[in-house]
Amino acid sequence: MAKKTSSLSAIGSVIVLCFFAVAVIALAHAMTTPPEPEPPVVQNTSSTQPSTATASQSETNTSDTATSDQGSATSSDTATATEGSSTTDSDPTTDTNQQTTSTNDNSYVSKNETSSFAKDKWYMLLANGANPLPENYKFEEATVYSAGRNWIVDARCAEDMKAMIAAAKEDGVSLIICSAYRSYELQEKNFNAKVQYYINKGYSKEDAVAKTATIIAVPGTSEHHTGLAADIVTPSYQTLDSKFEKTEAFKWLYENCAEFGFVLRYPKDKVDVTKIIYEPWHYRYVGKEAAQIMMSEGICFEEFLEKYGT
């Protein structure tokens, strides 16, 4: 029995030694093998990077847009400036665009005060009660087709008159000429008929002549003799009275006529100067530069020549 117990004890000791040996080997392996690294913690790194790229791309697009739009519509420039683009505010191209817009709004840029216009130029010809035209005044004739007929005008302003009528049509406004060049004889006939009209209404002949002269120029002093003036109306309103100013045709003419070298010849507030009633239908060619000054400063032809004429 004692021998059996001794054998079991020996076996137990061997088992214990085996477990001890395994534990020692495992511990040694653990001490010599490096631990497996943990995966990196990304947090916001991956999301921040795309955000940064997007912002950078957005800024680049804004810059490209500002650069490419500086020569285009002013509304785009304005939008860019509103968004905070300092480049647009200081860029000279933007100033040019703004000036162009002002011109389309009839806010013309006047010429330098030192500028002058020679009164002997054909487009500076003044015809009024105090300045009758030279006897046998002549000009090269051309025609402008309107309202079913050819109207005689000075050949030197014909193309600008055609261009003005065409430009209005493109904007949906119909302009028609109802009077252009008139001979001395026709002017005399019209003048005398108007005088007789007032005599029939009870005016004395002297008063009838004076009244007529504010409406129809005395023969020899009419702008219609020059070939540089035309009465322009619209199909929906062809009456020559002050109500023409309420039409779209008048609004278009007033805002755009100077671009083509024409001016409203007899403004409402210049009757004391022109000695002619307000005629919103009467337009006179004076050249593009002079026209823009006159319309910008709100002066009539007489005042213009007084200020700038030499």
Active site positions, annotated: 279
279 strand-pairing partners: 266
Please enumerate in sequence order all residues whose Cβ is within 8 A of that of 205, keeping only pairs 6 or more positions apart, or say none.
195, 199
* Secondary structure (3-state) at 186: helix
φ, ψ for residue 96 (rounded to 5)?
-65, -45
| Rounded-to-integer distance, Cα 169 and Cα 165, Å | 6
Q: Quote the CA–CA distance of 257 and 227 in Å, as a whole number.
A: 17
Rounded to 10 degrees, the C-alpha dihedral 298/302/308/309 comes to 160
Question: Cα(93)–Cα(241) distance, rounded to whole angstroms?
Answer: 43
CA distance 276 to 273: 8
To the nearest 10°, the Cα dihedral for 80, 82, 83, 87?
50
Q: Are strands 279-285 and 262-266 parallel, antiparallel or unpaired?
A: antiparallel
DSSP symbols for 194-261: HHHHHHHTT--HHHHHHHHHTTSPPTTS-GGGTTSEEEEEBTTB---SGGGGGSHHHHHHHHHGGGGT
Q: Which spans in the chain are helix H?
A: 2-32, 45-69, 74-82, 86-90, 92-104, 155-170, 184-200, 205-213, 248-256, 271-274, 288-297, 301-308
User: d(Cα 222, Cα 191) in Å, to the nearest integer?
Assistant: 11
- The one-letter code for the residue type at 202 is G
